[in-house]
Structure 1
């Protein structure tokens, strides 16, 4: 009986420590895999037997292969991912808007407006000078071209944002389907006694990716399936995954469940960044730009229409700008074709430049709620810069939190090669000792048989 017990215990021990070596080897080869969670084999004493009044030990068994993961840290990472991705993407997009204005530079609207009004001031001194009239026309055309270019670029940027929003929604749907599939597989495997730790690592990696795209809430049901909501709407569980669609309504980019009636409330992730910049920030910037340009056109035309040209025949009642329509600013085609039709004579007499002087003085006039055109435009540029700086500060702050959480995650789930190699040696020695026990028991059995 004793020899048989030694064989049983030792054989069981070989299997246990072979499994321990497998787990340790799996850890080592995944040390560089950032989505891998360290696994720890838990051993416990096998249940003893009571035979003929004697308690017989049965050795060791594998109680569990534990996945080292802290769900509280994971929850913080998911929450911070949403904030970081939102602020980071908003910062990038706002910087793109800022670049459209080319400020401060010679090509910026601020300098072009200054040049435009200065050209009228120079023309007021020599009203009949064709070179100075040409300078006015060139300054006006440069100003018009920049305004039009900015607006065309804004339209192009919004188109790119809308396209990216759709692509991100497609990514969300793909991730939801993959998470649902892993939910199903881990449930089936767990039910059949198949290890699921690697599947759970894969699912957590998918959830991390999802949290960078959109604001999510994650809980786990009694089958350890991830149940995820997006903005309060069920997105995925073990049985199904929802499909979301992108839509534009009243100039706002929305996310909606395909069969749902109402848009999802976006509060984080790249989708919120894209929607917020597209739906709120860019329209706000555009409205402020339009107010400056509309007031400039209105004020210049109001003065110019009173003036007389030096063309033959003289004309009056001409607008200097054709208008500002659909983001396009252009100079009156009559003036473009003939700079002598710049109407700056107040009374029609030769050498009178009163209208030119009035137009030049518009640069200092309080035309925008008590502000000059330059002040109104500078306010716009400052708003864009401040919005970008705010998002940059949020990004930096969230990066610090993510770095700290990453270290916490590594301390809990990361693989230490030194620690694992120590375990390899420990398990190897125990495995060898178990094998030696079998050899000893075998020798003892041979001795007994030889005595018979």
Structure 2
């Protein structure tokens, strides 16, 4: 025969189990809008029965386990897509900034400034002795040099900013690794004592998701609920230990040296992620084809110096007014400078318009102030198809159009890949939320279900109390 209090114990267990289920439901509702929260559920199981005269009498229910409703496969898939999104966001950002800098086509851009420069020489060829035409040529030359200076200075500043961003992202990665290591430590202390630190798991997953956008990560389970996180084949987080990622630079070029991207002193290979996108935008040694800003700087410098050499070559072979008038035999270059960054109009020409060489030697060996053939030759550089640019032969216009065209293609490709990655990440995130996210409708239905079960269990305790009251206070009092 079972104990008189068997029914009370059964009801008590039911109350405790349903109360735990209600508390879990309330926890889910409270965190419906918490980023990274995974909904939880109490798993109930039947308690061990009591054998009585060959019968198995049930003893009720117990809350067996508190589980997180999460699909690990979707976590892996999301982190794989996340690194691509981070990479293409970084590349797209760099291309967009360069496009804004080049500002083509517009009246302030380099193409327009060069066209105006050629027109100035064309006009000067028709009025070689005109001080006004010479002044226009000089000022348009100044405009060209200032435009080249601005582009190179802006690219250098952009590159400097990117170096700071690389440092910031590296620090962020190391901070995330330390936080993951700390959470591993807390989890590793709780799990052996039969606790289910689900909220700590959620916090750790949020950090790993953030880390996966910065670098390509691989997460593997470790002892006592902890995880190991590796990047490029080396452990960034090993249980409670967080290692440090460092990025080094080549002393000669100033570019990032792939051999100096290390974790705990061991070289790693970055496959994707925002950090790699920023590094490639800044410039990576041996990866010139992927180095966004260095490639653009090389193209602009090559354009500028080819332009300067072509103009100076003709200008120095021409005759200026001082040469014609016998004041001086000195012939000067129109531009001076070693790169687009320090390019400027010759200071001597800035002092005297007479030093602009618009004329050339005529067949008779004599020249006149009205001779503008040299100015015309300079104006015709625009259509000269024999200029050498980075091993190829083309006109200045064609080479510059190729620079801008390639920039547009690369930017469009980066934007397209970024958009595709965003769609992929969102699709995986939606699938993950369908499993792990909190549905208020579902939680309300569960709340009512658990409430009714709790009420029924409480009613059972009341009935058993009444039965016991009758047994204790009513039996053995016959006739009273």
Shared topology, TM-score over 0.5?
Answer: yes
Q: Does 1:290 align with 2:301?
A: yes
Q: Does 1:37 align with 2:24?
A: no
What are the superposed Cα offsets for residues 387-424 of structure 1, whole Å, 9 maximum, x if unpaired? 11011010111111112112101110111111111111
Q: Residue in 2 aligned with 1:160?
A: 161
Q: Residue in 2 aligned with 1:349?
A: 368
User: Structure 1 runs of 4+ off > 6 angstroms?
Assistant: none
Which of 353, 368, 381 matches 2:404? 381
**Mapped partners of 2:230, 2:371: distance in 1:** 72
Classify the secondary structure of the residue corresponding to 1:328.
coil
**Mapped partners of 1:325, 1:401: distance in 2:** 44
What are the superposed Cα offsets for residues 207-230 of structure 1, whole Å, 9 maximum, x if unpaired? 111111112111212433221111
Classify the secondary structure of the residue corresponding to 2:133.
helix
Q: Does 1:340 align with 2:354?
A: yes
Q: Residue in 1 aligned with 2:464?
A: 441
Classify the secondary structure of the residue corresponding to 2:35.
coil
Q: Does 1:251 align with 2:274?
A: no
**Mapped partners of 2:126, 2:340: distance in 1:** 35
Q: Residue in 1 aligned with 2:378?
A: 359
Shift of 1:251: 3.3
Q: Residue in 1 aligned with 2:395?
A: 372
Given that residues 87 and 275 in structure 2 are in contact (C-alpha distance below 8 angstroms), is that contact kept between their aligned partners in structure 1? yes
Q: Residue in 1 aligned with 2:286?
A: none
What residue ranges of structure 2 are gaps of 5+ in the alignment?
284-290, 362-366
**Mapped partners of 2:77, 2:240: distance in 1:** 26
**Mapped partners of 2:244, 2:15: distance in 1:** 50
What are the superposed Cα offsets for residues 254-310 of structure 1, whole Å, 9 maximum, x if unpaired? 563364153x32222211111011111111111111111111111111101011111
Shift of 1:2: 4.6
**Mapped partners of 1:100, 1:412: distance in 2:** 45
**Mapped partners of 1:190, 1:151: distance in 2:** 58
Q: Does 1:273 align with 2:277?
A: yes
**Mapped partners of 1:35, 1:121: distance in 2:** 66
Q: Does 1:318 align with 2:332?
A: yes
- When residues 66 and 83 of structure 1 are mapped into structure 2, their CA distance, relative to the original with a 3 A threshold, is same
Q: How does 1:50-129 map to 2 (within 5 A)?
A: 50-129=51-130
Shift of 1:316: 3.9
Given that residues 305 and 339 in structure 2 are in contact (C-alpha distance below 8 angstroms), is that contact kept between their aligned partners in structure 1? no
**Mapped partners of 1:204, 1:126: distance in 2:** 75
Which of 278, 291, 306 matches 2:317? 306
What residue ranges of structure 1 are gaps of 5+ in the alignment?
none
**Mapped partners of 2:281, 2:44: distance in 1:** 55
Q: How does 1:201-240 map to 2 (within 5 A)?
A: 201-240=202-241
**Mapped partners of 2:464, 2:336: distance in 1:** 106
Given that residues 24 and 42 in structure 2 are in contact (C-alpha distance below 8 angstroms), is that contact kept between their aligned partners in structure 1? yes
**Mapped partners of 2:414, 2:109: distance in 1:** 24
What are the superposed Cα offsets for residues 325-356 of structure 1, whole Å, 9 maximum, x if unpaired? 37221111111111111012212432111110
Q: Residue in 2 aligned with 1:408?
A: 431
Aligned length: 451
Q: Does 1:327 align with 2:341?
A: yes
Given that residues 90 and 274 in structure 1 are in contact (C-alpha distance below 8 angstroms), is that contact kept between their aligned partners in structure 2? yes
Q: Residue in 1 aligned with 2:447?
A: 424
TM-score by length of 1: 0.97
Shift of 1:383: 1.3
What are the superposed Cα offsets for residues 421-446 of structure 1, whole Å, 9 maximum, x if unpaired? 11111111111111111111111111
Given that residues 297 and 324 in structure 1 are in contact (C-alpha distance below 8 angstroms), is that contact kept between their aligned partners in structure 2? no
- When residues 222 and 259 of structure 1 are mapped into structure 2, their CA distance, relative to the original with a 3 A threshold, is closer
Q: Residue in 2 aligned with 1:15?
A: 16
Given that residues 309 and 315 in structure 1 are in contact (C-alpha distance below 8 angstroms), is that contact kept between their aligned partners in structure 2? no
